Amino acid sequence: MIVGTRPGARRAHLSSLSTRTHATGAASTALRPVLESPRTPARVLAAFSAGIYLEIRTEIEPRVVAVVHGEAVRLPNAIVLSGALPPAEVGDDAAVGAGSIRLGRAGLSAGRWWNPAPPLGPADPALLALAARATADVLGRAARRPGLDGNGAVAMLADGCASESLVDVVTAAERLVGLGPGLTPSGDDILAGVLVALRHLGTSAGVPRAVRLADWLAAAVTYDARTRTTPISATLLHCAARGEAAPEVTAALRGMAGRHPLEPALQGLLSLGHTSGADLARGLHIGLDAVVARAAGRA
């Protein structure tokens, strides 16, 4: 019994504790597998003013769900709320599945869906070659540098992708997974950029060898990502392996494919985070160069 309260007040108090608020948001289609599965326990992995990250106790990917507000980066594993985020602290219990997310007294569900891997449509390999040179120029002038600028494993990854050397690609990937500080280490961001570029631009340019290279790289990157990097970054690597990315990344891909001006899209990507945008852009450039090389028939 709650000491010092009247019976009626106690009933009202208990009723308020059981009352749930409900909100809908725009959810990535990448979340369908976990949202449409049976409800599974989760916990708050990280909580910031811009977003809350929930780690689900499941083998289904994505294992981390991002609950963010409309002004935050729309990660490919995110549900975006138009209003305020529910209160949460690291370690809080939550649940995901059966069509919703339960966090404290808040219930969240998908009011609509968005695609984190929109198709680019056909792309002319000659235009991609021009985009590769333009991208190199923008990145060369950028104030923000990749977190692993000058790293030997990054150079090995670029050379391996360009020459289609699976040994170099896999060796470089093993060195890069989890390399660097932060919730999404630089090595992971670079690998994510390469993966989505190979898959999307290879498909658009009709270069199946680039898509197959993406398949090999995806297998190497996701094999033991859970044990080698942060849970958030491991989830984003699994998303990238399927071609899923934030809108800033897909906008840069669309710029490379000639769908809209390239430099503004790259500048928007470069503005993300401390080095994440620059690392993702570097990965996109590596993947773009590889597609151009495959399209030209170079070994």
pLDDT of residue 13: 36
The answer on pLDDT for 16 being more than 60 is: no
**How much is the average pLDDT of 25-53?**
96
The reported pLDDT for the residue numbered 298 is 46
Quote the pLDDT of residue 19: 57
Radius of gyration, CA atoms only, the chain: 21
Read off φ and ψ for residue 193, nearest 5 degrees.
Answer: -60, -45
What pLDDT does 2 receive? 31
On average, the pLDDT of the chain sits at: 91
Q: Is the pLDDT of residue 76 over 50?
A: yes
Say how many C-beta atoms besides its own lie within 10 A of residue 231's C-beta: 18
Q: How would residue 181 be classed by pLDDT, with cut points 50, 70 and 90?
A: confident
Mode of pairing for the β-strands spanning 40-47 and 106-114: unpaired
- Distance separating alpha carbons of residues 210 and 288, to the nearest angstrom: 10
Section 55-65 average pLDDT? 90
Is the pLDDT confidence value at 54 over 70? yes
User: How much of the chain exceeds pLDDT 90, in percent?
Assistant: 81
Please name the residue ranges forming H helices in the chain: 7-18, 32-35, 125-141, 152-163, 166-176, 186-204, 208-222, 225-228, 231-241, 247-256, 262-270, 276-295
In angstroms, the CA 299 to CA 153 distance is 21
What pLDDT does residue 229 have?
94
In 185-260, where does DSSP find H-type helix?
186-204, 208-222, 225-228, 231-241, 247-256
Q: pLDDT digit string (tens) for 91-135?
A: 999 999 999 999 999 999 999 999 999 999 999 999 999 999 999
For residue 65, the SS3 value is strand
Q: Round to whole Å and give the CA distance between 210 and 195.
A: 10
pLDDT interval class at 8 (50, 70, 90): very low
pLDDT tens column, 217-241: 999 999 989 899 999 999 999 999 9
